[in-house]
Amino acid sequence: MQHALKLARHAEAAGEVPVGSVIVQDGEVIGEGWNAPISLHDPTAHAEIAALRAAAARQGNYRLGGATLYVTLEPCSMCAGAIIHARIARVVFGAADPKTGAAGSVFDILGTDRLNHRVEVEGGVMAEECGRVLREFFRAKRAAGRNGSDQPD
């Protein structure tokens, strides 16, 4: 999760919501990414999607069975769907997302028995640190907005 937090800072430096993700298989990092939907003009450019794309390219296979995905914020429904299609075995996330979380907060896409793959989920890992990065980012965005220099989300 420390590495995912470091990647979240890359997103933050680019003015993106600070979320980072790392995929590990057999003790080795096989993919990583951070949020970039604003800079890439791509609504799918979430940290998890970037990490999944990198890992799949590296492995030469879109199936990533046995891999663990670490992410600083609970995955949304889009990312949860991609995680299921990739056959990720386990997801470890930091901060829960009470507005769009799809690993138990709002939806439980990763844990439902109605789909053809279930993902083991562990939430709350380094939750305070992950949440603090997000809170500080949005606090600064709100303060900038009051000063007339806010940029679009």
> Which residue positions form the known binding site for Zn(2+)?
46, 76, 79
Asked if residue 101 lies in contact with residue 75, where contact means CB atoms within 8 angstroms, the answer is: yes
Q: Which residues participate in the annotated binding site? A: 46, 76, 79
Active-site residue identified among 12, 16, 48, 74: 48
For residue 141, the number of C-alpha atoms closer than 13 Å in the C-beta half-sphere is 16
The rounded Cα 37 to chain-centroid distance in angstroms is 12
Active site residue 136: no
Task: Give the neighbor-by-neighbor strand order of the sheet with 120-122.
Answer: 28-34, 20-25, 68-73, 90-95, 120-122
| Residues ≥6 apart with Cβ < 8 Å to 125 | 1, 70, 92, 93, 94
**Which residues are known to be catalytic?**
48
